[in-house]
Chain A
Amino acid sequence: MKFHSRLLAPALFTFASLLSVPLMAQDWVRTGSNLGNERIRLAAADFKPTSADPQTPALKAVFDATLYSDLGNAGIFDLVSKSFAPQAMPGSPQEINLAQWSADPVNAAMVAFGSLSTANGRLLVYGWLFDTRNTANPQVLGKQYNEAATQDMARTVAHRFADEIIYRLGGGINGIAETKIYFISSRTGSKEIWAMDYDGENQHPVTHLGSISISPRVSPDNSRIAFASLGREGWAIRMYSLELGRMVSFPGGSTGGANQSPAWTADGNRIAFSSSRSGDPEIWIVDANGSNPHRITYFKGPDVSPTWNPKTNAQLAWVSGRTGLPQIYIMDQDGSNVHRMTDGGYAVSPSWSPNGQFLTFSWNRKYGPGAPGGQDIYVMDIASMRWLQLTHDAGSNDFPSWAPDGRHIVFQRQLGSQTDIWSMLADGTEQHQLTRSGNNSMPNWSWK
């Protein structure tokens, strides 16, 4: 009996994993990450220029390209190629011929269109979203934007209109076109914190400390960045205020030794991090103002890289080397109910999905001295512990971070000696390289 079950269990497990993981995996990830299985066929018309102002063509080009790119990046649309668009450029509800957009070859279920003009340094945009099959009452959305006539604002207005469409057609989940990605770049000569728009535009440095700074984590209200920085007494958790544009004090974060890998609760009230102040790297929790640090793990060996369940602010996933190679574990915020999530290899850098259902992390399942195999990004359903590999045979991948829509993941990919930031959908498709200068690592997607 005992002999039987010993043989049977691994056999069944192998059989089940062979059957279920490769075939079914895409579906559960797509459903859980709100990507759905059916994409809405959406057309985005070029906007009609309605002023002869010399600024108009340049801003219209930026707006059209940004809107099209945002809708394509959303991951929930089957976006109609611009070459299929009808000749006429509709600038208002009176000018659109819906039959042209619902017929072959466009076949759009929805069409976004509008007009753009500039006058006296102002940019005026009218945007609509129409349902091509509801000819009696086609308007889904009508928006008006009046902003300064700059390239930045043309991009921003396109982001806002795209996010309105995504919110309306994507099940009430906010779009990410106005979110930011914080990361580490060495392109000024030292590792500093940088920021960029979600699509890789507008890359700029945030800190100028001249030391080594790592692991930036932006607060849920976008007001501060917690990170770790090397000083004379080792690594300290430090805090940069995006509102004040300077460093602010964080008393609980510097004690000597290694204080690193901060993680905010979704309510912004607490930060979990790794500290070796007790003589061994353990997980600690501190209030967001740097007071009241307390320890929650008590095992010899490295304990690092905590991430909070953003749904509850009461559980954490983290990395522990208590049994040898690092593995992903979860626990309650008082250190109880510890569960190991990964069954071997080298598993690091967890990020907890916004809906609380998944972890994404970096895993090398064949790790060992001399062993072949890659470090790839995985997604795991926490309740069932089923996992899906998102990256394959493309460099060494680490530090995945969920976008607030739960549909996107940003991560770092090292190819040879070059490390860059990439983004992808949470099912591993549509991988895009976002950085192309210097070495760039440890991306963190803003909460909104």
Chain B
Amino acid sequence: MNRRTRILVPALVLVALVAVAGCKKKQPPAPPPAATAPAATAPTAQITATPSSISAGDQVELSWKTTDASDISIEGLGTVPSTGVKTVTPTVSTTYHLIARGEGGTADATARVVVSAPPAVAVPTNTMSAEEEFKANVQDIFFDYDAYDIRSDAEGTLSHDASYLASHPNIKIVIGGYCDERGSSEYNLALGQNRADAAKNALVSAGVAASRIRVISYGKEKPFCTESTESCWQQNRRAGFSMDQ
């Protein structure tokens, strides 16, 4: 029994890991659902963005076409006519999501515009922006109440964070130290500094150069959530990682 659980747990973890990893490669949404009432014709939707890769500040022409739809919208742009052309100036990589609803069902289509920083940095070959990839790979760590020592459940996260940073030596990071809403602002600012410094020291011990890391305590000045519940407090007691721009 005991032995079986021992085998079972790693196996389950492996399955979970594969499942999580599988999630990252997000497939574009499935084509419009086929199952509709026989009476109405299913709507169709098409959208293109030209060009699909720009530098920040450049314009992109969106052009779309739908049929058999009464309610057409593009996420972030609101309701639009059934066919049209619109010029947009995205500042970050954006996926334009066209949704066409009609009596015969719903259809959607997407067009992605990859925006690179003005001094033409090489456009990443994958579909994820560097920021998104960073967020998916370098995860925050959490702390106990009024404590700043690295919890055992954070050690795995930190070593994963460190190995991602080791394989991306050009990324610089900011570690923010955060506290829950309870207690005093000045004391929490010092506690947040201790938390951020503890996370920095752990990364440095794992081989990340200290010169790549900037540390800022936010104390309770920039809460992630504001409910007075233990689950919110726990989310606020953290060292948060972000890319240093």
Q: Which residues of A contact B (CB under 8 A)?
A: 191, 212, 214-215, 228, 230, 233-235, 256-258, 260-261, 274, 276, 279-281, 301-305, 319, 321, 324-326, 346, 348-349, 362, 367, 369-370, 375, 398-399, 417, 441-442
Smallest CB separation, B120 vs chain A (Å): 26
- Please determine whether A234 and B217 come into contact, CB atoms closer than 8 angstroms: yes
The answer on a CB contact under 8 Å between B146 and A258 is no
- Closest-by-CB residue of A relative to B183 is A346
Question: Closest residue of chain A to B144, judged by CB?
Answer: A369
B218 surroundings in chain A (CB, below 8 A): 230
Partner of A319, one of B187, B194, B215: B187
* A375: chain B residues within 8 A (beta carbon): 183
A260 and B189 contact, Cβ closer than 8 Å, known pairs A324-B146, A348-B183: yes
Instruction: Tell yes or no: B185 within 8 A of A by CB.
Output: yes
**Measured between C-beta atoms, what is the minimum distance from A107 to chain B in Å?**
46
On whether the beta carbons of A276 and B197 are closer than 8 Å, the reply is yes
Q: Do A258 and B184 have beta carbons less than 8 Å apart?
A: no
Contacts of B221 in A (CB 8 A): 191, 212, 214, 230
Interface residues in B145-163 (C-beta closer than 8 Å to A): 145-146
Shortest C-beta distance, B150 to chain A (Å), equals 14
Asked if B194 contacts A260 (CB within 8 A), the reply is: no
What 0/1 readout, one digit per residue, does chain B (184-198) give for beta carbons within 8 Å of chain A?
111101111110010
A321 neighbours in B (Cβ, 8 Å) = 146, 187, 190-191
A378 to B209 alpha-carbon distance, docked (Å): 46
CB distance B183 to A258 under 8 Å?
Answer: no
Smallest CB separation, A254 vs chain B (Å): 13
Contacts of B190 in A (CB 8 A): 258, 260, 274, 276, 281, 302-304, 321
Give the contacting residue for A281; candidates B146, B194, B215; CB below 8 A: B194
The answer on a CB contact under 8 Å between B197 and A326 is no
- B214 proximal to A (CB < 8 A): yes
A-B contact pairs, 20 of them (CB 8 A): A214-B189, A230-B216, A233-B214, A257-B197, A258-B193, A261-B186, A276-B197, A304-B186, A305-B187, A325-B146, A326-B183, A326-B184, A326-B187, A346-B183, A348-B183, A348-B184, A348-B186, A369-B145, A370-B230, A417-B226
Q: Do residues B197 and A214 form an inter-chain contact, with CB atoms below 8 A?
A: no
What residues of chain B lie closer than 8 Å to A191, measured between beta carbons?
A: 221
A215: chain B residues at CB < 8 Å are 185-186
Chain B residues in 8 Å Cβ range of A257: 193, 197, 215, 217
**Which residues of B are interface residues toward A (Cβ below 8 A)?**
145-146, 183-187, 189-194, 197, 214-218, 221, 226, 230
On whether the beta carbons of B215 and A301 are closer than 8 Å, the reply is: no
Known: A274-B190, A303-B190. A442 touches B215 (CB 8 A): no
How far apart sit A45 and B122, CA to CA, in the bound complex (Å)? Answer: 81
Pick the residue among A279, A324, A367 that contacts B197 (CB under 8 A).
A279
A276-B197, A349-B184, A369-B230 are contacts. A302–B217 as well, Cβ < 8 Å?
A: no
Residues of A within 8 A of B216 (CB): 230, 233-235
Which residues on B sit within 8 Å (CB–CB) of A228?
189
In the bound complex, residues from chain A placing their C-beta under 8 Å from that of B193 are 234, 257-258, 276, 281, 302
Q: Using Cβ atoms and an 8 Å threshold, which residues of chain A touch B197?
A: 257, 276, 279-280
**Which of B145, B184, B217 lies at the interface centre, i.e. has the most chain A CB atoms within 10 A of its CB?**
B184
Q: Do A441 and B215 touch (CB < 8 A)?
A: no
Q: A234-B217, A321-B146 are in contact. Are A302 and B185 (CB under 8 A)?
A: no
A362: B residues at CB distance < 8 A: 184
Q: Which residues of B contact A276 (CB under 8 A)?
A: 190, 193-194, 197, 217
**Given A260-B186, A348-B183: A235 touches B217 (CB 8 Å cut-off):** yes
Residue of A nearest to B218 (CB): A230
Within the complex, the shortest CB–CB distance from B158 to chain A, in Å, comes to 18
* A304 close to B230 (CB less than 8 A): no
A301 to B198 CA separation, bound complex (whole angstroms): 11
Partner of A274, one of B146, B186, B226: B186
Structural contact, A214 and B183, CB atoms closer than 8 A: no
- Asked if B145 contacts A302 (CB within 8 A), the reply is no
Set B145, B185, B194, B217: member contacting A280, Cβ < 8 A: B194
Complex Cα distance, B221 from A369, in Å, reads 21
Cβ-defined contact, A302 with B191, below 8 A: yes
Chain B residues closer than 8 Å to A441, beta-carbon distance: 185
Compute how far the CA of A305 lies from the CA of B218 in the bound complex, rounded to whole angstroms: 16
B187 touches A304 (CB 8 A): yes
A421 CB → nearest B CB, Å: 14
By a CB distance below 8 angstroms, the chain B residues around A370 are: 230
Judging by beta carbons under 8 Å apart, are B187 and A258 in contact?
no
Q: Note all chain B residues with C-beta closer than 8 A to A398.
A: 184-185
Interface centre among A276, A367, A369 (most CB of B within 10 A): A276
Which residue from chain B places its CB closest to the CB of A326 in the assembled complex? B187
Report the minimum CB–CB distance from B215 to chain A (whole Å). 7
Residues of A within 8 Å of B146, CB to CB, are 321, 324-325
CA distance A362 to B186 in the complex (A): 12
- Determine the chain B residues whose CB is within 8 A of the CB of A261 once the complex forms: 186
Chain A residue at minimum C-beta to C-beta distance from B145 = A369
A255 to chain B, nearest CB (A): 12
Whether A349 touches B186, Cβ cut-off 8 Å, given contacts A280-B194, A302-B191, A369-B230, is: yes
* Contact across chains for B214 and A305 when beta carbons are under 8 A apart: no
Measured in the bound complex, the distance between the Cα atoms of B187 and A212 in whole Å is 16
What residues of chain B lie closer than 8 Å to A442, measured between beta carbons?
185
Residues of B near A302 (CB, < 8 A) are: 187, 190-191, 193-194
Note all chain A residues with C-beta closer than 8 A to B192.
Answer: 258
Instruction: Please report the C-alpha to C-alpha distance between residue A257 and residue B192 in the assembled complex, in whole angstroms.
Output: 10
Pairwise interchain contact B186-A214, C-beta atoms closer than 8 A? yes
Tell me if B185 and A258 are in contact (CB < 8 A): no
CB-CB nearest 7 A-B residue pairs: A302-B190, A281-B190, A348-B184, A258-B193, A304-B190, A276-B193, A261-B186
Most A CB contacts (10 A, CB to CB) among B187, B194, B216, B230 go to: B187
